[in-house]
A and B are shown apart, each in its own frame.
Chain A
Amino acid sequence: MYKFILFLSFPLAAFSQAFRPVKDTTALKAKIENMSKATNSIESDFVQEKDLAMLSEKITSKGHFAFKKDNLLRWEYSTPSKYLIVINKEKVMIKDEKKTSKYDMNSNKVFREINDIMVSSVQGTIFRSHKFKTNYFENDKFYKLELIPQDKNMKDTFKKINLYFDKSVTSVAKMEMVEASEDVTLLEFTNKKLNAPIADNQFSIK
Chain B
Amino acid sequence: MRQLRITSLVLSSFLLLSGCAISKYKRLFCDKIIITTQDVAPVIPASGLVKYKASIDVLKNHLSGLLLVKETDSLTKRLVFVTELGLKMFDFEARNGTINTVYVFDPLNKPVMIDALKRNFNHMLLLDAYWREAGKCAQKDRQIFALRSDPDKRYLSVADTASRALSLQETFHNHKLESRIEYSYDKHTERYTKIKAKQYGLVKFYFDLELIPPSHD
| A59 in contact with B49 (CB, 8 Å) | no
Task: Report the minimum CB–CB distance from B88 to chain A (whole Å).
Answer: 6
Return chain B residues, CB-CB under 8 Å to A50: 82, 86
A180→B86 CA distance, assembly (Å): 14
Q: How far is the CA of A179 from the CA of B78 in the complex (A)?
A: 18
* B68-125 CB contacts (< 8 Å) to partner A: 68, 70, 72, 78, 80, 82, 84-88, 91, 102-103, 105-107
Kindly list chain A residues whose C-beta atoms are within 8 Å of the C-beta of B106: 153, 156-157
Say yes or no: is A114 at the interface (Cβ < 8 Å to chain B).
Answer: yes
Q: Which of A52, A114, A179 contacts B85 (CB 8 A)?
A: A114
Inter-subunit contact B64/A98 (CB<8 Å) = yes
A54-B70, A97-B64, A153-B106 given. 4 additional CB < 8 A pairs? A54-B78, A96-B62, A97-B53, A177-B86
Q: Is B208 an interface residue (CB 8 A)?
A: yes
With A54-B70, A54-B72 known to touch, is A48 a contact of B53 (CB < 8 Å)?
A: no
B55 touches A52 (CB 8 A): no
* Contacting pair A55 B49 (CB below 8 A): yes
Cβ-defined contact, A101 with B66, below 8 A: no
A91-103: CB near B (< 8 Å → 1, else 0) gives 0001011110100
A83-B64, A177-B86 as given contacts; A52 in contact with B80, CB under 8 Å: yes
* Partner pick for B68 among A55, A77, A99, CB 8 A cutoff: A55
B217 / chain A contacts, CB cutoff of 8 Å = 59, 80
Known: A54-B80, A96-B55, A98-B64. A157 touches B86 (CB 8 A): no
Interface residues of B (CB under 8 A from A): 49, 53, 55, 57, 62, 64, 66, 68, 70, 72, 78, 80, 82, 84-88, 91, 102-103, 105-107, 208, 212, 216-217
Q: Which 4 A-B pairs have the closest CB atoms?
A: A185-B86, A83-B84, A96-B64, A50-B86
Does any Cβ of B come within 8 Å of A45's Cβ? no
* Residues on the B chain within 8 Å of A110, using CB: 107
With A61-B84, A157-B105: A181-B53 Cβ-Cβ less than 8 Å = no
Kindly list chain B residues whose C-beta atoms are within 8 Å of the C-beta of A59: 66, 68, 82, 217
Smallest Cβ-Cβ distance to B57: which chain A residue: A99
Residues of A within 8 A of B55 (CB): 96, 98-99
A181 to B85, CA, bound (A): 17
Task: Determine how close the nearest CB of chain A comes to the CB of B172; give it in whole angstroms.
Answer: 28
Q: Interface readout for A1-13 with B: 1 if CB under 8 Å, 0 if not?
A: 0000000000000
CA distance A179 to B68 in the complex (A): 17
Contact call B53/A81, Cβ cutoff below 8 A? yes
A157 to B107, CA, bound (A): 11
24 A-B Cβ contacts within 8 A?
A52-B80, A52-B82, A54-B72, A54-B80, A55-B49, A55-B70, A59-B68, A77-B84, A80-B212, A80-B216, A80-B217, A81-B53, A81-B64, A81-B84, A83-B84, A96-B62, A99-B55, A99-B62, A109-B107, A114-B85, A157-B87, A157-B105, A181-B91, A183-B88
Within 8 A of B (CB), among A62-97: 77, 80-81, 83, 85, 94, 96-97
A71 smallest CB distance to B (angstroms):
18
Measured CB to CB, the closest approach of chain A to B81, in angstroms, equals 11
